[in-house]
Amino acid sequence: MHTWTARLRQGLLAPLKWLLALLILFEEWGWEPLQRVVAAIGRWPGFRWIEAWVRRLPPYAALALFALPALALLPIKLAALWAIRQGHALLGLTVIVIAKLVGTAIVARLFTLTHDALMRLDWFARIYGRWSRWKAELLAWVHASAAWRAAQALKARLRTLWRR
């Protein structure tokens, strides 16, 4: 490939790459804390048996349960987009953010509970391995960027100011 076409392609893909990176960073930052919240709820007496049942699911039942939150939240997200279209942008965006937080929390917990069953599906384990490597490469690219280093420096300065 010619140098100028490679640069053009890289320039056109950069915004998409940053958008994907931001989505993944959001998931990364929220995944563990939100999963811990749902895990704490799962320790309540009425919910313990549900988590035990989920852990015992066979692989394809675990896969179906793992996909359920995305399907359940789809109508809510579509309603939020409809609200935005009707001129209620703040309401729509609020619903989308709340749905994203709730969905991430539930999916994170379900993944923790169904991980062993899902990894018994060879095709899922392969896709998950590829996804994990791709995500690690993307996050390494973000962490090596000047924007990330500047944000980290600003964060350190703000933390220092806050402590004073």
Going from N- to C-terminal start, the domains of the chain cover 27-120, 126-164
Residue count (the chain): 164
Is this model's pTM higher than 0.75 or not? no
What pLDDT, on the 0 to 100 scale, is given for residue 9? 67
**CA dihedral angle for residue 93, residue 98, residue 101, residue 107, rounded to 10 degrees:** -110
Q: Residue 25: name the closest of 90, 82, 104, 114 by CA.
A: 104
Q: Enumerate residues 6+ apart whose C-beta is below 8 A from 50.
A: 42
* Segment (H or E) for 65: helix 59-85
Query: For the segment 101-159, what is each residue's pLDDT rounded down to a tens digit?
Result: 888 888 888 888 999 999 999 999 999 999 889 888 888 888 888 877 888 888 888 88
